[in-house]
Structure 1
Amino acid sequence: MKIPALVVISTLFLGGSAAVVGAAEKKYGPGVTDTEIKIGQTVPYSGPASAFSSYGRVMTGYFQMLNEKGGINGRKVNLISLDNGFSPPKAIEQTRKLVESDEVLAEVGTVGTVPNIAVQKYLNQNKVPHIFISAGGRRFNDPQNFPWTVPFYPPFEMEGATFGQFIAKKLPNAKIAVLYQNDDYGKDYLTGFKRGLGTGAAKIVAEATYEISYPTVDSEVIQLKTSGADTLVYFTTPKFAAQAIKKANELNWKPAQFLASPVNSVQGVLTPAGLDNVQGAYTTQFTKQAGDPAWAQDPEVVDYIAFMKKWAPNDSPNDFIALSGYVNAQAIALGLKRCGDNLTRENLLTQATTFNKERVGMLLPGIELTNTKENYAPYRTLRMAVFEKTSWKLLEE
């Protein structure tokens, strides 16, 4: 059968148009090619908050694992993880390098209130996604003023309120002392705590603050003990929580203890402080615990322990800081996967702010990730836990 030339020519032109349309469907921002997605972050591998370094190592290992399996939508993920020393000037310097020299698509998963505050304005002014950051301060969930910043850690005020409500209900006559960092991190926790505590009989009888530059908080713990408090709340970073726990024990002060989740790491905080000194302490949780026998046969826990053994062998699966890196890395990967071939900065922001009841490995049953363009915070609930022997045990709701 002879096909008219006009039909052949039309088909060729249509085929060419289809190819052009197909090619046009791929939209790339900086750091993206057909084979690579380049993203960056800064982590305190050194300095006063170096206990958070396991977080960065685990995240790096997670993307190495994904790349071994083929990457995300056929692209390898190049995560550039730089040391910020928990210093604002260093954080700014390293972030500028990531954006202006390395030309990353986004800054993802940067850990800590101090470094994230330092770079928030710069990244928003330059419309660079500053997403899935491991910080729960109120200023990071502000879509109107900082639309390019998306938090991933549970809001500090929500966690503080959870502690307050628990004490008001379970320890209604508590005399409370609070040790907190003198910045947005500590103040947001304290604001939520006071709101959750309400106007019942439980009262705050003493507060003590410290600066991140302090060598120790020994004098602050002594000050709090003299108040006669029988309950001590730590809204601190890991180094200072470990110091304070040890000092309280040296003073033979045995208050009921409440540790904010960033300082509940068995390896990074409790072991250095002495496990005998934290028996019966309370914290909040949103993840399963690898060291809890109740989860020993859980498939997600089994997978996590195997991952740690291969990809982060020098870090402990029982370290909550390491675990938070694992959970966060999964969320970042999910956000990138949702972008498909539209890997622009604008679309990544859209995908990162429209999670709807998403689950990632190691979240507790009932904990889901949901956010909107009006409320970026993905967590809505937390669980209370108590420390027994060598691990945290969930309390009945």
Structure 2
Amino acid sequence: MSHLFQTYSRWNIHIKKAKGTLAVDESGKTYLDFVQGIAVCNLGHCPDQVTAAVKKQLDNLWHVSNLFQNGLQEKVAEKLAANSTGDLVFFCNSGAEANEAAIKLARKHTQKTKIITFQQSFHGRTFAGMAATGQEKIKQGFGPMLSGFYYLPYNDPDALKTMEDEEGIAAVMLETIQGEGGVIPANSEFLQEVQAFCRKKQALLIVDEVQTGIGRTGKAFGYEHEGLTPDIITVAKGLGSGFPAGAVIGKKGLSSAFSPGSHGSTFGGNMLAMAAANATLEIIFEKSFLDEVCGKGEYLQKELESLLQFPLVKDIRGKGLIAGIELKDPVQPLIEELQNEGLLVLPAGSNVIRLLPPLTVTVQEITEAVQKLNNVLTRHTAVTQ
């Protein structure tokens, strides 16, 4: 009997050791890991520079709380601000906490309560995060949601026209690529329309970069591809290379809304997490590193397009090193076959295979992963024909 709440449909795999792109289970089977903790281990498992930084911090100080000055927080905040449109940072422990804080910040700063989000979005599992999420399955069974959220069609530039006469809009919140919603990139016209709408309505633009930030798309943040200037950016996942770390990055004009006592987190900006984050960003935010991610992302997308030859494959989507393979049938049976083949991947909804390799993945590993996908799709096609 397990003493865990059964909130996860766990795979029958127990990873015992991992390094870089490779993970090894308790039986000794080795996998190409294109899950990486769900876009968390962006430098691969146990990166040397991050490991060294955490070990050094372990010997000095683990935790003191935010009652004290914290030089590590200052270093990480400086890096996040220097590589974004923001100026100030609040640290927390996860993407859900970051989005919760962003919603609070937007409502307090604007003194308005309505927030527009989009269908098929995902913004976390706190009550505000659930309310912001445009997927009903996330909310089932929890009773009334936090009010004030409006859900518009994603990638529809005309959808915002239905809100032109609405008053009291504090913010528009979106993902530049809907990860959980099916790896759906936003188109340029839509994003520019959202930004123009925010300016017209004096609403804040919140970009949820929890999955697409920290180099995942080949830029420090995904919104950079379209030249957006968000007021608030939320990050987590890849920030700490596996240590729980989240952050809200905001423009300096928002500072008065987050004054002393207005918001907080006991563990936010913890010394160990900040040591990991600082070492992580020192690598990922280098232009040469991001240029390599762009090149490998282009190679991955090109290689995946070869899978369109299979009748089962409906579409290939993505940017950088986040990719989605949309199928005409449910993906779960194929994900299990890929595990047998030695490749770990994720679903994104019921019909999309999601690939999230580490940003350090090699071209050879990408080629090997696509070959494994080809092998499984070949066998699956032979059985179903």
TM-score bucket of the superposed structures, by smaller chain: 0.3 to 0.5
The TM-score with structure 2 as length reference comes to 0.32
The TM-score with structure 1 as length reference comes to 0.31
Ranked by relative contact order (alpha carbons within 8 Å, sequence separation 6 or more), the top structure is: 2
Structure of larger gyration radius? 1
